Amino acid sequence: MNNIPAFGLGTFRLKEQQVIDSVTNGLDLGYRHIDTAQIYGNEAEVGKAIAAAKLARNELFVTTKIWTENLSKDKLITSLKESLSKLQMDQVDLTLIHWPAPNDTIAVATYMEALAEAKVQGLTKLIGVSNFTIAHLKQAIDAVGAKEIATQQIEIHPFLQNRKVVDFARSQGIHLTAYMPLAYGKVMTDPVIVEIAKAHQANPAQIALAWSLQQGFATIPSSTKRANLESNLAAKDIRLTDAEMDAISRLDRNDRLANPDFAPQWD
């Protein structure tokens, strides 16, 4: 089993001082899994906040992601070295392919093999994928083997449960990381989730995160507010009943939030 901490801090959309504050607060509150990406434009700030926290490197789990422009064989490793330099690290814990190459202009095998080589070179401990369809996952498995793929990070929340991809990844023994687990705050007003939250004397965000954790996903909510960062962490202590899990599973409506124009044809 890979050692990806189940609860992490996402940094998508957080810039400059905002991301420094979020990571600083998160580390102070006990978060030890920080998720960034080349395209977020905040790796240097994340690195700065981590360096200032003065934690032992082995206490932290740091993920970054290779952007689509860097997927070619000659660019991938160079771009990862640049990320490491910004993060002030010799090695990240996990490097993901952020998206499959737009229109599959570069073969999956090409960038998976380059990513595997980055691992051999010691630039990253683990490798994985993000936003891969079942077809892309199959090609990645053919290229490097399922055991090499530490996680598939995809959008999963009560309104987009991505079951086909989840089931396929699980059938191959591939772990899943849920991003946007709070659906940009939409979970806060859903009547079913609000009702379950009342029963647990919790808030709806905690319920949505508990639902994700209880399925064995790693989950990486983000927040700029210290109080929310703290309250999100409390989701780890909530156990939902089978009936509650079932009620949330019925909220699936294929409500996809991350769907850029270069996204693949979803399953």
* Count of structural domains, the chain: 1
Asked if residue 95 belongs to a domain, the reply is yes
- Is 40 one of the annotated active-site residues of the chain? yes
**Is the distance from CB of 25 to CB of 56 less than 8 angstroms?**
no
Residue 223 DSSP symbol: -
pTM above 0.95, yes or no: yes
- pLDDT (mean) for 90-100: 98
Reduced to 3 states (helix: H, G, I; strand: E, B; else coil), residue 233 is helix
Asked if residue 192 belongs to a domain, the reply is no
CB atoms under 10 Å from CB of 200, counted, come to 16
Burial class of 230 by CB neighbour count within 10 A (0 to 12, 13 to 18, 19+) = middle
> Tokens at residue 142, please?
């053919």
Instruction: Please check the confidence at residue 149 and state whether its pLDDT lies above 90.
Output: yes
Asked if residue 173 belongs to a domain, the reply is yes
The mean predicted confidence, pLDDT, of the chain is: 97
Instruction: Please check the confidence at residue 152 and state whether its pLDDT lies above 80.
Output: yes
218 strand-pairing partners:
177
Q: What's the distance, CA 239 to chain centroid?
A: 22
Q: Which of the four pLDDT bands, split at 50, 70 and 90, describes residue 1?
A: very low
Range of the domain at 16: 9-185+211-223
Asked if residue 171 belongs to a domain, the reply is yes
- Cα separation, 223 vs 34, in Å, equals 12
Asked if residue 111 belongs to a domain, the reply is yes
91: Cβ contacts below 8 Å, ≥ 6 apart? 84, 122, 123, 124, 125
pLDDT digits (tens, 9 = 90+) for 201-228: 999 999 999 999 999 999 999 999 999 9
Instruction: Please check the confidence at residue 2 and state whether its pLDDT lies above 80.
Output: no
Q: Which of the four pLDDT bands, split at 50, 70 and 90, describes residue 3?
A: confident
177 strand-pairing partners:
153, 218
Q: One of 31, 40, 111, 179 is an active-site residue; which one?
A: 40
Q: What is the CATH number of the domain that holds 162?
A: 3.20.20.100
